[in-house]
Structure 1
């Protein structure tokens, strides 16, 4: 069976990588995340204002802090087309390397059937496809997450903090993962995770024309819950006109589910299966932050790949069909626009990522809750037999 999977999926995966990058990525789409980044890099090199965008439009805006601008600055040395193509090429190389890293992390060889399966799922997903089509930084964030997890599991704590810190310096989407080394008492992780953004900001600040404008203009916009390109509960609720009390109630409910899940995983899995604890807890933290935060975009879902890989581990919390229905919702590249049922198709299309994240969180919570209740039932007879 393994040989058949390898024969089928290696050529299919390679062609999918080519199609997603060379054709869809180079073609681009109506949304272009790379253009504002390139303009900001060029402005930074020319010592011109970077944070002067009009945030009243729905066009992609430049939202990286000065530390991120410093890292993006080399893009401005090339013309826009070459710079964009190189960014796509490097992103593809990074994604293939991420597939190798995650395969090795879970104990499989790159020669095993798991490697082409992982590569196929990567490039089949909406997250990877739109990361390449929109030319976004997400592939590097995934690399930072996987390097952090790889070195954290090996207790190379100083190294583990560096990739996390570099991604936080550009996009702080992984900042919630700092809770895990905090709980695990891996203090040295914070040297790189906090030190890298501080160091890069210190270098970028005197080189920027308007660094304070990031905090006075851009940062407030980042905390606004917009009603477009936003799959968070508050963003989806704003688009569909959901009442505020219900939005608040749902956000509280998902925070409560995440708190229980993290507590249970910490108590019962941190020492017995550190990989399962780290991968599942990271998925819970990230998914919750996108759901209850002000901004959650569909292509962030690629950062859930470590959680998906736990299906190979005994004790996985996603070995159920509701979990994989949720995974389909937040990762599918399928579109649900309908000519015959236009309103219904649009509603499904605009909410599929939100219900995907939600169903995944609920499935993980219920799986862990049922295990906890089973453990309680086993403990009660033992306590009843103890002498008073």
Structure 2
């Protein structure tokens, strides 16, 4: 009887069993990624140039002095971002890096919590440990922590922006994305969402915060114009290394410029059609529209833009979460093949098949983003054509069984 009080609870439902199984796996995975892999670091070190720039900023020394002829990580943040990052140089480099790893890990966890709330899922649901375990098992979260860059905080800014946008907290929504703009404008395509939804107040804080921070940072920086004259031209170029965008890998593999542009224009057309269908027929389903459109915008910018790095895929988490919705465009196997390409931490470098393995490793992000956009385009276009053929476009493009909750007759469909 005395020992019974120490007996662990036994799951009596499937949900309880999944929770009991996955919470320890999720927590230990988080601890391993933060305490072991991230602290160990890697050859790629995104943090060192940021720390050095912050230290030089505090000492009123030139910041924008990078040699862009090397392939080492460069410092690319504008003066407003340098101002925000300056406090990291108060500590010594090692402790500062450890603290930055911890802050980014907490930011990712906070973003995942907001995603659960956004989709109406509780912390005691099976979705919580599944999401935490899956997120910290991905290449994007692992390498963000290992390389020690700011993408975890950018993810939190993105999810907070979408969360507050859906709740019509426009000024706060703009503030969330505006803080990320002060560091880097990677989330800029998402401003299309408040634009088409008529949430104009978002733009006040989205533009105001980086402008105010720039105005504060400019006189404090020793060489602010060097960002415009030296760094900004580099940011406008497309490089052929560590770049999974079409232009990056296309240039690396020597594709003709005409073919590179043909691919980019083709995907621009698919993104445009997908966004039009989402706006025209799905915008009243606000959660589905905002989260799906955000994924299309971000994946399109990674693939079609001048720079797409694989760990940017973290910003697709809101799109991935739509799988819990009945009308999700991701409830098919090609979508998850694409998701494997952009999230799996597997290395395809092979000692036996050198060229093939290297190509698979370098192209997995490009192919993953491409397939994901193709899947979204194909699903939405097929739904539109089916609804048009059946004369029910006035009711939207979702299949009747998604709207009514009835299951279609597979026998008659397959026949």
Give the TM-score of the pair, scaled to structure 2.
Answer: 0.91
Deviation at 1:89, TM superposition (A): 1.0
Q: What's the Cα RMSD here?
A: 1.1
Q: Distance in 1 between matches of 2:137 and 2:214?
A: 36
Is the Cα contact below 8 Å between 2:384 and 2:393 reproduced in 1? no
2-structure distance, mates of 1:313, 1:252? 31
Could you say what secondary structure the match of 1:307 adopts? helix
1:5 aligns with 2:41: no
Query: Which runs of 5 or more structure 1 residues have no equivalent in the other structure?
Result: 383-388
- TM-superposed deviation, 1:228: 0.8
Q: Paired residue for 1:340, among 341, 349, 352?
A: 352
Cα distance in 1 for partners of 2:96, 2:167 equals: 36
Q: 1:369 aligns with which of 359, 381, 395?
A: 381
Q: How does 1:300-311 map to 2 (within 5 A)?
A: 300-311=312-323
TM-superposed CA distance for 1:379, in Å, is 2.2
Tell me how far 1:380 sits from its aligned partner.
8.6
1:349 aligns to what? Answer: 361
Deviations 1:134-182 (A, max 9, x none): 0010000100011111111010101100010000110110011001100
CA deviations on 1:167-202 (whole Å, 9 max, x unpaired) are: 011011001100110000000000111111101100
Normalising by the residue count of structure 1, what TM-score does the alignment of the two structures yield? 0.97
In the other structure, the counterpart of 2:111 is 98
Equivalent residue pairs, number: 381
CA–CA distance in 1 between the matches of 2:18 and 2:322?
Answer: 20
Deviation per CA, 1:92-132, whole angstroms, max 9, x where unpaired? 11111111111111000011110001101110100000000
Instruction: Give yes or no for contact 2:338–2:368 (8 Å, CA) kept in 1.
Output: yes
1:37-71 deviations in Å (ceiling 9; x for gaps) = 00000000001010011000000000000000000
The reply to whether residue 32 of structure 1 matches residue 45 of structure 2 is yes
CA deviation profile, 1:187-230 (whole Å, cap 9, x unmatched):
00001111111011000000001111111111111111111110
Q: Give 1:84 shift.
A: 0.3
Residues 1:298 and 2:310 are matched in the alignment: yes
SS of residue paired to 1:317: coil
Within the alignment, does 1:145 sit opposite 2:158 as a pair?
A: yes
Match of 1:53 among 66, 69, 73: 66
Change (3 A) 1:199 1:366: same
Q: Cα distance 1:111–1:380, how it changes in 2: closer, same or farther (>3 A)?
A: closer
Q: Give the superposition deviation at 1:381.
A: 11
For the residues of structure 1 that align with 2:229 and 2:305, how far apart are their CA atoms?
Answer: 20
Secondary structure of the structure 1 residue equivalent to 2:270: helix
Structure 2 CA distance for aligned equivalents of residues 351 and 223 of structure 1: 22
Work out the CA distance in 2 between the residues paired with 1:158 and 1:210. 32
Q: Whole-Å Cα distance in 2 between the matches of residues 314 and 175 of structure 1?
A: 29
Partner Cα separation in structure 1 for residue 155 and residue 134 of structure 2: 15
